[in-house]
Amino acid sequence: MTAHSDSADLSGRSALVTGGAAGIGAACARELAARGAAVTVADIDGDAAAALAREIGGAAWAVDLMDVAALEDLRLETDILVNNAGIQTVSSIEDFVPARFHDMLMLMVEAPFLLVRAALPSMYANEFGRIVNISSVHGIRASAYKSAYVTAKHALEGLSKATALEGGPHGVTSNCINPGYVRTALVDKQIADQAAAHGIAEQEVVEKVLLTESVIKRLIEPGEVASLVGWLVSAYAGMVTGSSYVMDGGWSAR
Ligand SMILES: NC(=O)c1ccc[n+]([C@@H]2O[C@H](COP(=O)([O-])OP(=O)(O)OC[C@H]3O[C@@H](n4cnc5c(N)ncnc54)[C@H](O)[C@@H]3O)[C@@H](O)[C@H]2O)c1
């Protein structure tokens, strides 16, 4: 297909964004709606999901995606799936609570797998689908005290590539986005947790821990990540699949 003036238009497309009520997910929901898609905001915070759905003229789905058993028989009819919901825990491996490790892998690996599994049949029937997995620079790099998160994001990279290989012949693309630190509640909490783990002040955490590897010394804005999602699901990106798009201020260039 040749890219033309309305190749970024998503009118007539449906989209589902997990963890869509806040942070990066909310920015994605707004971006996709602004481009014309009918967006479903899926989030454990049903009130916030409903409020955002009202704002963007979409729908809300109150769901705990950690309850993976409930997703096994799901069938989704959506053209675009953004696997975004995620959580963080900062702890040394020897102190890491095993149940928390398990929960994080369920939310950040098993739930994306089950949602992809639920969405592919209708995407295949329509010969069109766009899957965007919000990974992290921690999908390609490790940091101390984040074993479950790093493990989950590396696994998500593998799921995304396997999905790309299976989906390609059916018009379905699958890609990851790998942001560095984005200005959201998830990072606000980490700043406090890292300050406790390292025994230093919060401002020092931002400068010396979070942004130490970043050449550009600022947090990423959620809208910057969402703009890349908007491009990846557009007609311009029809040949982009199995890829991982880093947005990390130069962190992984080292
Ligand atoms: N903020 C960052 O610096 C950063 C960097 C790289 C990648 N990411 C990734 O981006 C994604 C979004 O992160 P964020 O910073 O916007 O987080 P956030 O905490 O601001 O928002 C996460 C959203 O997910 C929802 N959620 C949490 N648990 C859920 C569950 N069990 N079921 C359904 N919804 C649930 C929350 O209610 C919230 O609305 C995550 O996958 C995260 O790993 C974030």
Residues 188 and 177 grouped into a single domain: no
Name the E strands within 30-125: 38-43, 59-62, 80-83
Residues 124 and 67 grouped into a single domain: yes
Residues 134 and 207 grouped into a single domain: no
Q: Which residues of the chain have pLDDT under 70?
A: 1-5
Residues within 6 Å of ligand 1 by CB? 19, 21-25, 43-45, 63-66, 84-87, 107, 134, 136, 179, 181-182, 184-187
Residues 199 and 144 grouped into a single domain: no
Q: Which tens digits make up the pLDDT trace of 118-130?
A: 999 999 999 999 9
Q: Is residue 247 part of a domain?
A: no
In this prediction, residue 65 carries a pLDDT of 98
In this prediction, residue 126 carries a pLDDT of 98
In this prediction, residue 1 carries a pLDDT of 45
How many domains does the structure of the chain reveal?
A: 2
Q: What is the CATH number of the domain that holds 174?
A: 3.40.50.720
In this prediction, residue 173 carries a pLDDT of 98
Residues 158 and 203 grouped into a single domain: no
Q: Closest Cα partner for 92 from 143, 149, 144?
A: 144
Residue 187: helix, strand or coil by DSSP? helix
Give this prediction's pTM.
Answer: 0.95
Euclidean distance between CA atoms 100 and 88, whole angstroms: 10
Choice from 159, 160, 182 to test ligand 1 binding pocket (greatest atom count within 8 A of CB): 182
Residues 176 and 207 grouped into a single domain: no
Residues 214 and 231 grouped into a single domain: no
In this prediction, residue 3 carries a pLDDT of 47
Q: Which domain holds residue 173?
A: 7-181+222-236
Q: What is the position in ligand 1's atom list of the atom closest to the CA of 22?
A: 39
In this prediction, residue 96 carries a pLDDT of 98
State both tokens at 229: 């999602």
Residues 205 and 231 grouped into a single domain: no
Residues 163 and 209 grouped into a single domain: no
Q: Is residue 125 part of a domain?
A: yes
